[in-house]
């Protein structure tokens, strides 16, 4: 286990050290102490290493992650795991706005709540939130799965493309072109797998599925108010 003290050794050193790790490294376990809400912790990693952040972080933690597993023992600020490609990011506490935005792959687990715009423009990432999510989540989401064990806020899935949204609790309102859809056997499989990997004991049959009505894909003057 390698320990990095962010307060005394600085952010640039942390990210350049972690970014230098390759698939062959034997330094596979890292912990970051004294994060104290700093921004851009553990970004741009591209090796199958495990990084544990011992405390809460600021903006853009674990951005652009590939392969690495990053755990935060605290809460995270805006834009956690933004544009993740692969790997896993696990947050013990809450996440601020636009968690997992534009992510292409990998798994983001938030054990507390996520606030507004969770999964905005997601492009293939899987996101599991154990608590609630805020308004405008999955806005223009294109691919991937967003699983919410609690409730969803206003305008869920507005202008949605092909991402799948699963919500166990209530949905305050659906956004334009987002509708409830049938939960078919293949969806139970996806849900079960994601809930298992995210350490949630919620049952797939307790969820509802939401997706795109596919009415806004092409411009239609009769629907101009909905764009």
Partner 1 sequence: MCGIVGLFLKDQSLAPQLGNMLTDMLITMTDRGPDSAGIAIYGEDSIGKTKITVQSPNADSDFVGLAEELGKGLGVAVTQTDNDTHTVLDIPAGQFEAARSILAEIRPSVRIMSRGENLEIYKEVGLPKDVADRFNLSGMTGTHGIGHTRMATESAVTTMGAHPFNTGSDQCLVHNGSLSNHNSLRRKLRREGVTIQTENDTEVGAAYLTWKMMNGATLGEALQSSLDDLDGFFTFVVGTKDGFGVVRDPIACKPAVMAETDQYVAFGSEYRALVNLPGIEDARVWEPEPATVYFWSHNDSPTSQEKAA
Which lies closer to partner 1 via its Cβ, residue 52 or residue 97?
Answer: 97
CA 165 to chain CA mean position, Å = 13
Q: What share of the chain is helix, strand, coil (3-state, %, to 5)?
A: 15, 25, 55
Which lies closer to partner 1 via its Cβ, residue 106 or residue 134?
Answer: 134
Which lies closer to partner 1 via its Cβ, residue 59 or residue 188?
Answer: 59
| CA nearest to 198, candidates 117, 121, 89, 122 | 89
**In angstroms, what is the minimal distance from the CB of 56 to partner 1?**
5
**In angstroms, what is the minimal distance from the CB of 35 to partner 1?**
9
CA 162 to each of CA 43, 165, 219: distance values in angstroms, whole numbers, following the listed order: 27, 9, 17
Report the run of H or E that residue 209 belongs to, with start and end. strand 208-212
Which lies closer to partner 1 via its Cβ, residue 135 or residue 168?
Answer: 135
**In angstroms, what is the minimal distance from the CB of 160 to partner 1?**
19
Which lies closer to partner 1 via its Cβ, residue 11 or residue 85?
Answer: 11
- DSSP codes of every residue in 72-140: ESS-B-TTTTTT--SSEEEESS-B-SSTTTT--SSEEEESS-B-TTTTTT-EEEEEEESS-B-TTTTTT
**In angstroms, what is the minimal distance from the CB of 81 to partner 1?**
17
Distance CA 164, CA 187 (A): 9
In the block, tokens 């293949």 appear at 186
Which lies closer to partner 1 via its Cβ, residue 172 or residue 197?
Answer: 172
Question: Phi-psi region for residue 11, left (φ > 0), alpha (ψ -120 to 50) or beta?
Answer: alpha
Which residues here bind partner 1, judged by CB under 8 A? 36-39, 56-59, 75, 77-78, 93-94, 96-97, 115-116, 134-135
**In angstroms, what is the minimal distance from the CB of 53 to partner 1?**
13
**In angstroms, what is the minimal distance from the CB of 76 to partner 1?**
9
């Amino acid at each position: 286990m390698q320990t990095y003290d962010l307060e005394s050794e600085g952010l640039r050193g942390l990210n350049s050290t972690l970014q230098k790790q390759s698939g062959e490294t034997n330094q596979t376990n890292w912990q970051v102490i004294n994060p104290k809400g700093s921004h851009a912790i553990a970004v741009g990693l591209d090796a199958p290493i495990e990084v544990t952040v011992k405390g809460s972080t600021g903006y853009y933690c674990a951005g652009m992650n590939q392969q690495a597993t990053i755990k935060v023992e605290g809460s995270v600020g805006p834009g956690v795991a933004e544009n993740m490609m692969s790997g896993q990011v696990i947050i013990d506490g809450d996440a601020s706005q636009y968690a997992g935005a534009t992510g292409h792959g990998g798994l983001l687990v938030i054990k507390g709540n996520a606030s507004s715009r969770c999964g905005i423009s997601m492009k293939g990432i899987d996101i599991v939130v154990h608590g609630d999510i805020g308004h405008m989540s999955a806005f223009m989401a294109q691919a991937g799965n967003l699983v919410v064990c609690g409730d969803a806020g206003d305008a869920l899935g507005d202008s949605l493309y092909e991402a799948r949204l699963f919500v166990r609790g209530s949905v305050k309102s659906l956004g334009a072109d987002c509708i409830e859809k049938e939960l078919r056997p293949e969806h139970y499989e996806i849900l079960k797998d994601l809930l298992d990997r995210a350490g949630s004991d919620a049952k797939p049959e307790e969820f509802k599925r939401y997706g795109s009505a596919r009415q806004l894909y092409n411009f239609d003057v009769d629907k101009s108010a909905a764009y």
